[in-house]
Structure 1
Amino acid sequence: MLWVKTDQGPARLLVHGDKPVCFVPSDVQRQADNALRTANLQVDWKPLPLKTFQQQSLCACYTQTIRDSLQVSKVLNNDGIEVFEGDIRLADRFLMERFIRGGITFTGVAKDKMGHTEYSQVKAKATDYVPKLSIVSLDIECSEKGVLYSVGLHSDMDSRVIMIGEPKESEEGEQWIQWVESEKALLLALEAWFIQYDPDIIIGWNVIDFDFRLLLKRAEWNAISLRIGRGKQTPHWRQSTQNPNQGFISIPGRVVLDGIDTLKTATYNFRSWSLDSVAQELLGEGKHIHNVHDRMAEINHMFKNDKLSLAKYNLQDCKLVTRIFEYTHLLEFAIERSRLTGVELDRVGGSVAAFTNLYLPQLHRAGYVAPNLAGENWIASPGGYVMDSSPGLYDSVLVLDFKSLYPSIIRSFRIDPMGLVEGLLQDEGKQPNQAISGFRGGQFHREKHFLPAMIEELWSARDQAKRNGEKAFSQAIKIIMNSFYGVLGSSGCRFFDHRLASSITMRGHEVLSVTKDLIEDNGYNVIYGDTDSVFVSLGKSHTQEEADIVGNQLVKSINAEWIRRLKDDFNLECYLELEYETHYHKFLMPTIRGSETGSKKRYAGLIIQDGKEKLIFKGLETVRTDWTPLAQEFQQTLYEMVFHGQDPDEYIRDYTNKTLAGVFDDRLVYRKRLRRNLDEYQKNIPPQVRAARMADEMNAKLGRPLQYQHKGVIEYVFTTSGSEPKEYRQSPIDYNHYLEKQLKPVADGILPFIGKHFDDITAPQMGLF
């Protein structure tokens, strides 16, 4: 059964005839059949021209039901019989084998149903159709015990807040508030809203693990089904087996997109993932209540005394989520990702699923089935190449970057799962000298492969999307294309083989190392390199025009050299492309703290962009969420002064004095994530855990809900008694801690390169405090 959206409205497709299937080696078919008969499982066997990567011939094993298919793998594995592709869902196989990715065209016998059309005897195939989807943003307000107060709904079709209670005289004219008498009536009104307005997509903030989790609990408590799916069907909740705080929801005929998860999938990152913080960063607007306890107290107060204000607050949260989705084109991103890979719109992450969807049907047509997941004894592959850096304060540093290095290596050297299998067969002597050598024993067939063509197709589509200004499409393609290496290097992918991943990363090491030598042969100094980029010091200050000439000359000569090498050494066409990316007018490569060794993945520089100067920080305190705003502001101003040749002494002394005098107390807050449940910290108790425990002890005393028992984010300050939660600070602030642990490390990251030190500058002032 599949739900789809058409120009005529929603439709439910009933597919008949497709059966769940898995594959078993032909030489153990009889043993497998006996084991299944003993377990009272009825199956049908069919020999197929398919084989494993180990060249075993296979039989297909068909079951009548999905439930039986789940038992087949279990029974046969217990009997020592390996089963292939037994974990692929029937619906996924139906779609992927027809290359259906997002768009679908179908025929069938139509029957009108309530709010949708049902088609039976469906035949389907792929098409490039993109429907117009209707969206509602949903948000609930409730008490600290989880009793519902209201539900906000914001969409182009209708926006309202369903509120428990009776309106005051001043509230009676607010037509956008729907008043109901009880929590049960609220849930029934929510059902009715979904039936009337019938949205395709539901969006929200933590909408699955909070809003829907609570709505389903309250529906169960009120003994109603919450029939908000199409055809008045009920949602299905599935709890994560790995994370007790994560669940998944399936609402028939609708898709739920959580704002946080979808932003993460689109590779966004924020200091805090609260709605207020993300909205402030993206939109310049946030919630009106920030502190969780103030918010709960204020919500309770509004529900009792000012329900109009609560309704406005509720609806504002819905509108903020809608605006975030619009600003970031999140729905367009999810649609394009689905069109490219076939993964569901609401699939979080999904890189492995995307690769499987794209690769598996091609593999079957080449006569192979996919291998099973690697066992425990898998071999890791090297990561990206990171050169040793040359620390210093430089004038004019160029960054030269290989465009999509790993995908271009896959294309150039024909790296591919089936290509590895076929290449190793050649290497065994059947057709000597034909395979392309990889690393760690990898050999790749020159013609029998799929991944290079998949990369090429995505590459061309991204170039076209860039030309068309389709940012969401371009970003979706980039993420998918760059995920292929990660998938092949992950033991969670059925196609994992250390020879595949190593042949990508180790070739990357070789490419960067050779490129460094080529640059230095041209008379320039490579001061650092990381995965796909090299940092080139020009030795003296250059104007932008002068730097551009050097950068363009370097990439032209090096690209020509790589074309020659791949032709002469491998008889291959080269897709490696070095690009001139950035000219830093000033550039700092710091040392590892407390050492003279150059750091890695940490640097800062000054560029000119659109005629304006801009400071860039990578890996330093300014862009790290576990450093205080005090240190971050200090670093930005200090580095700007040093980059412009200004004497920073007076600024450092003034900033230090103001810190000691309490002027910057609002900038002293640490914000750290608790990676484990609070009771799991036993031996080593870091500052954030100490603060979190203190906070929850106070919460318990005040009768408030505990906040930090199951992970979470804690804000705290350092006092003369150690770390204490921001909201419950009891001791005086330890200003010396902030000087020694925040300001001094930042300052001494750059001052030694101009012959200065933090202690020398601040020593005369310290005696005053």
Structure 2
Amino acid sequence: MSALPELTGFVLSRQQRDTREGIELSYWLSTDTGAQEVRIAGQKAVFFVRRSQTDQVEQLLQDLSGWTLTELELQDLTGEAVSALYSQSLKLQRSLIERLTQGGVALLEEDIRPVDRYLMERFIQGGVSVLSRSDATPLLRPSDYSAQLRMLSIDLETTLNADRIHSIGLYGEGIRRVLMRGQGEDSDWLEFLPDECALLQRLMELVRAFDPDIFIGWNVIDFDFKVLSQRARALGVKLCLGRDTSPLKLIDSAAGKGFVRLTGRLVVDGIDTLRGATFSFESFSLEHVARVFLQRGKLVDKVDTRGEEIQRLFREDPQALARYNLEDCVLVWDIFAKAQLLHYLVERARLTGLPLDKIGGSAAAFDNQYLPQLHRRGYVASEYASGQSGLSIPGGFVMESVPGLYRQVLVLDFKSLYPSIIRTFCVDPYGMARGLREGAEPDDLVPGFNGAIFSRSQTILPRIIERLWQARDEAKQARNAPLSQAIKIIMNSFYGVLGSTVCRFFDQRLAGSITLRGHEILNRTRDEIERRFGYKVIYGDTDSVFVWLGDSCSDADAQRSGEALALHLNGWWQDQLMQRFGLECHLEIEYETHYHRFLMPRMRHSDKGSKKRYAGLKRLGDGGEELVFKGLENVRTDWTPLARRLQLELYERVFHDQPYEDLIHDTVARVLAGELDEELVYRKRLRRPLDQYQRNRPPHVQAALKVEQEMQRQGRRSPFRPGSHVEYLITLSGPEPLGWVRSPLDYQHYIDRQLKPVVDTLLPFLGQDFDGLVAPQFGLF
């Protein structure tokens, strides 16, 4: 059979289904000539069983047909031979898995879908070449094809209960449109439709004409597409937004996260994508993120009355509602562009083979890179998460801190410490299986922890890390920030995957050999700094050490000391690892930060130093400075704006050796006078549905319940879901929701619970405290 190149493209969506000829795999590709579907017919599903259990397998499945059991030259990581169990349909495979599981047969790699395995085993990660063959069955091969994907931003405006659609906004390159229910004058960007059925039909026409690869939006799956699905079903409309006549499908995953299935198109949520790319915001509301990223926000910015205002605009000024609707689409589009989110998703897919719309997926990304390499070495993964457990495995190392208010503190940081440990010490599931095998050559072994021993020559994961490391260096040189970020996230996820039961390679000997080695590295680094240079290490956390040079050190000397420390430690670690283990060192420590002033606080009600909490005045390379908070109230969104502002202004004064007493006095006086009420609002997120808070109802839950009760009396839907934020104030009658406050505010609560903790984190190091400063003031009120 000859194979000739037919086309190249980028995998958009993947589906599988049963046919008379076997399992059919369907891949929609984005190509230079538009989206095209490639179908591969006559496929089989496969997973593995241990050969010692094949008699049991045959007995359990004897009344079923359509499966075959084949002995292969493969073994699991325990060294036991395995056989492949093939089935001709997805339905049969599900039956086989259910029956064998109930029969106590260990199943290996049974959870990998045929449509994913086909790509994975061929190392297809995003880009693909399609080759035609004389038997008419196409063959797929990996390609470096660079996709130019077409996005469409979509946003719905609805009634308060989301039981009717008011309008649908659409925005992309070449489209700027709002579809509005009702009567009015059409324009080049606004169309009026008589009812919801006409609205949905027109939406389908526009989608077919624009032909997007990806829908984007804000909470777009759990709101916009959910509403579209519900309204289409209620109205009897077959809503076809994919590239064929299949209707929209909304599916809830086992993890409770919804996703949309459209043939040939994807739906990507802006919130999930930002979080996956490790962006962090106080709030992931579109208003807040747009203000931070774009310095502009929604056209209706009053959060507490926005829903009512949308209803008023629909009744009285539909043109204004249309502008609001369209601007939300534009905001999402501009955030995707500014944060390069689509570029990030494409690069992640090219690195891992993950679908563009996959949320999370660290374990799947690991499988896609690891399993094909493992199979080519004659092994399959063992039974899911069957590695050794029950060991005492610590997390990242956090050193006991030395509390104090310091000058001249340096931070030395190990670059990608956990991936460096994996690469240096050969930490690897396959390598451990080879290292623990009888007859392994002693010179080939590297000791781990908790009984782990690794082969230095037979490895997979260290080689994957090396490839990614080189790719990240190239991405940095090319200033390809999305690719660099994608690689960083992937590399740093490997430790978490190996230490999690959601990974088929879970084994605490692997995770322990990473974290315990990290503990050793930080402790020995501290000892070498103090022995060789005489400096004091006042703190250490996971991959960093904080070095106090002494208050009399100058800024210029601090810079030279940081460079000298990094140079010495890198050479010292190279010598140590070669002498102790004969290993090439891939650890690299960097002089990262210079704090001109630095606070390591005490734990509350204790003389011991805090962990993961500090503040410092950071010297920047251009001669400027930046005030940095870690774990303190200023970066905690559950503290009031007043407490956070006071901490910022207080630390700025103290770190610059300026008077601060009048700041504290004035703040207390203005609180008691009622002048700072707008800064006393608490904001806290609900972790679960309100009705699940039974035994313990914290203040934000109490406030939310008051809103919900009032909404029920008005016949309106509760605005709160898991993940929603509640804004409230503390009054003399307890917590009351913002906008619904009926009682006087409890100012003493804010002084005792917000101002005093912020001040007393710092002032004791100056020989003062909050009570001593403000006690005379209370006599005036």
Please report the TM-score for the alignment, with normalisation by the length of structure 1. 0.96
Displacement after TM superposition at 1:433 (Å):
5.0
Displacement after TM superposition at 1:434 (Å):
3.2
Letter in 1 for 2:461: L
Letter in 2 for 1:402: F
1:186-205 mapped onto 2 (5 Å cutoff): 186-205=199-218
Range with greater deviation from structure 2 (18-27 or 336-345): 18-27
1:100-179 mapped onto 2 (5 Å cutoff): 100-108=124-132, 121-146=137-162, 147-167=164-184, 171-172=185-186, 174-179=187-192
Displacement after TM superposition at 1:374 (Å):
2.5
Letter in 1 for 2:100: L
Displacement after TM superposition at 1:698 (Å):
1.9
Which of 414, 421, 426 aligns to 2:426? It is: 414
Which of 67, 70, 75 aligns to 2:99? It is: 75
Which of 643, 651, 660 aligns to 1:631? It is: 643
Residues in 1 aligned to 2:388 and 2:229: alpha-carbon distance in whole angstroms: 42
Displacement after TM superposition at 1:47 (Å):
1.2
Name the residue aligned to 1:458: 468
Residues in 2 aligned to 1:217 and 1:611: alpha-carbon distance in whole angstroms: 57
Letter in 1 for 2:140: A
Which of 597, 611, 614 aligns to 1:600? It is: 611
CA contact (8 A) 2:78 2:382 kept: no
Which of 25, 31, 49 aligns to 1:24? It is: 49
Name the residue aligned to 2:22: none
Question: The residue matched to 2:138 in structure 1 has which SS?
Answer: strand
CA contact (8 A) 1:41 1:72 kept: no
Name the residue aligned to 1:755: 767
Q: Is 1:222 equivalent to 2:259 in the alignment?
A: no
Range with greater deviation from structure 2 (367-376 or 667-676): 367-376
Which of 109, 131, 141 aligns to 1:85? It is: 109
Displacement after TM superposition at 1:242 (Å):
4.1
Percent identity between the aligned chains? 48
CA contact (8 A) 1:205 1:258 kept: yes
Residues in 2 aligned to 1:109 and 1:154: alpha-carbon distance in whole angstroms: 41
Question: The residue matched to 2:40 in structure 1 has which SS?
Answer: coil
Residues in 2 aligned to 1:14 and 1:305: alpha-carbon distance in whole angstroms: 51
Which of 427, 436, 439 aligns to 1:424? It is: 436
1:390-430, Cα deviation, whole Å (9 max, x unpaired)? 000000000000011001101100110100100001xx454
Residues in 2 aligned to 1:343 and 1:395: alpha-carbon distance in whole angstroms: 47
Residues in 1 aligned to 2:366 and 2:248: alpha-carbon distance in whole angstroms: 29
1:649-675, Cα deviation, whole Å (9 max, x unpaired)? 111101111111111111111000111
Name the residue aligned to 1:116: none
Residues in 2 aligned to 1:305 and 1:423: alpha-carbon distance in whole angstroms: 75
Displacement after TM superposition at 1:305 (Å):
1.4
Name the residue aligned to 1:740: 752
Residues in 2 aligned to 1:15 and 1:608: alpha-carbon distance in whole angstroms: 59
Residues in 1 aligned to 2:732 and 2:570: alpha-carbon distance in whole angstroms: 59
Name the residue aligned to 1:181: 194
Name the residue aligned to 2:733: 721
Q: Is 1:579 equivalent to 2:596 in the alignment?
A: no
Displacement after TM superposition at 1:28 (Å):
2.2
Please report the TM-score for the alignment, with normalisation by the length of structure 2. 0.94
Name the residue aligned to 1:36: 61
CA contact (8 A) 1:46 1:59 kept: yes
1:599-646, Cα deviation, whole Å (9 max, x unpaired)? 000000001222222100000000011111000000000001111112
CA contact (8 A) 2:276 2:359 kept: yes
1:229-285, Cα deviation, whole Å (9 max, x unpaired)? 002332222123443xx3111111011110000001001111111111111111111
Name the residue aligned to 2:527: 517
1:34-75, Cα deviation, whole Å (9 max, x unpaired)? 32122x242022211001112111111110011211221111
Residues in 2 aligned to 1:280 and 1:375: alpha-carbon distance in whole angstroms: 47
Question: The residue matched to 1:53 in structure 2 has which SS?
Answer: coil
Name the residue aligned to 1:322: 333
Question: The residue matched to 2:739 in structure 1 has which SS?
Answer: helix
Count residues with an aligned counterpart: 752
CA contact (8 A) 1:13 1:120 kept: no
Residues in 2 aligned to 1:109 and 1:195: alpha-carbon distance in whole angstroms: 32
Question: The residue matched to 1:436 in structure 2 has which SS?
Answer: strand
Which of 331, 337, 358 aligns to 2:348? It is: 337
CA contact (8 A) 2:387 2:507 kept: no
Residues in 2 aligned to 1:188 and 1:270: alpha-carbon distance in whole angstroms: 37
Range with greater deviation from structure 2 (429-438 or 610-619): 429-438
Residues in 2 aligned to 1:526 and 1:505: alpha-carbon distance in whole angstroms: 20
Letter in 2 for 1:326: A
Residues in 2 aligned to 1:33 and 1:13: alpha-carbon distance in whole angstroms: 36
Letter in 2 for 1:214: V
Range with greater deviation from structure 2 (284-293 or 410-419): 284-293
Which of 319, 330, 335 aligns to 1:308? It is: 319
Residues in 1 aligned to 2:136 and 2:612: alpha-carbon distance in whole angstroms: 57
Letter in 2 for 1:454: I
Letter in 2 for 1:3: W
Which of 484, 488, 498 aligns to 1:488? It is: 498
Displacement after TM superposition at 1:77 (Å):
1.4
| Change beyond 3 A, Cα 1:372–1:718 | same
CA contact (8 A) 1:541 1:585 kept: no
Letter in 2 for 1:229: G
Range with greater deviation from structure 2 (375-384 or 465-474): 375-384
1:555-581, Cα deviation, whole Å (9 max, x unpaired)? 111111111111111011000111100
Range with greater deviation from structure 2 (334-343 or 367-376): 367-376
Q: Is 1:404 equivalent to 2:416 in the alignment?
A: yes
Residues in 2 aligned to 1:312 and 1:638: alpha-carbon distance in whole angstroms: 43
Name the residue aligned to 1:698: 710
Name the residue aligned to 2:380: 369
Name the residue aligned to 2:75: 51
Which of 390, 406, 415 aligns to 2:402? It is: 390
Displacement after TM superposition at 1:222 (Å):
1.2
CA contact (8 A) 1:20 1:65 kept: yes
Displacement after TM superposition at 1:706 (Å):
1.3
Letter in 1 for 2:55: R
Displacement after TM superposition at 1:377 (Å):
8.6
Question: The residue matched to 2:379 in structure 1 has which SS?
Answer: coil
Displacement after TM superposition at 1:82 (Å):
1.2
Residues in 1 aligned to 2:722 and 2:637: alpha-carbon distance in whole angstroms: 20
Question: The residue matched to 1:37 in structure 2 has which SS?
Answer: coil
Residues in 1 aligned to 2:503 and 2:744: alpha-carbon distance in whole angstroms: 53
Displacement after TM superposition at 1:145 (Å):
2.7
Which of 496, 509, 515 aligns to 1:505? It is: 515
Question: The residue matched to 1:232 in structure 2 has which SS?
Answer: coil
Structure 1: 5+ residue runs without aligned partners? 111-118
Displacement after TM superposition at 1:379 (Å):
2.9
Question: The residue matched to 2:358 in structure 1 has which SS?
Answer: coil
| Change beyond 3 A, Cα 1:376–1:179 | farther
Question: The residue matched to 2:107 in structure 1 has which SS?
Answer: coil
Letter in 1 for 2:175: D
Residues in 2 aligned to 1:762 and 1:556: alpha-carbon distance in whole angstroms: 49
Name the residue aligned to 1:538: 549
Displacement after TM superposition at 1:507 (Å):
0.2
Residues in 2 aligned to 1:202 and 1:510: alpha-carbon distance in whole angstroms: 48
CA contact (8 A) 2:344 2:483 kept: yes
Displacement after TM superposition at 1:711 (Å):
5.3
Name the residue aligned to 1:565: 576
Which of 263, 271, 287 aligns to 1:276? It is: 287
Residues in 2 aligned to 1:86 and 1:575: alpha-carbon distance in whole angstroms: 36
Letter in 1 for 2:141: K
Residues in 1 aligned to 2:627 and 2:353: alpha-carbon distance in whole angstroms: 40
Residues in 1 aligned to 2:761 and 2:612: alpha-carbon distance in whole angstroms: 14
Residues in 2 aligned to 1:109 and 1:185: alpha-carbon distance in whole angstroms: 45
Letter in 2 for 1:60: A
Range with greater deviation from structure 2 (506-515 or 84-93): 84-93
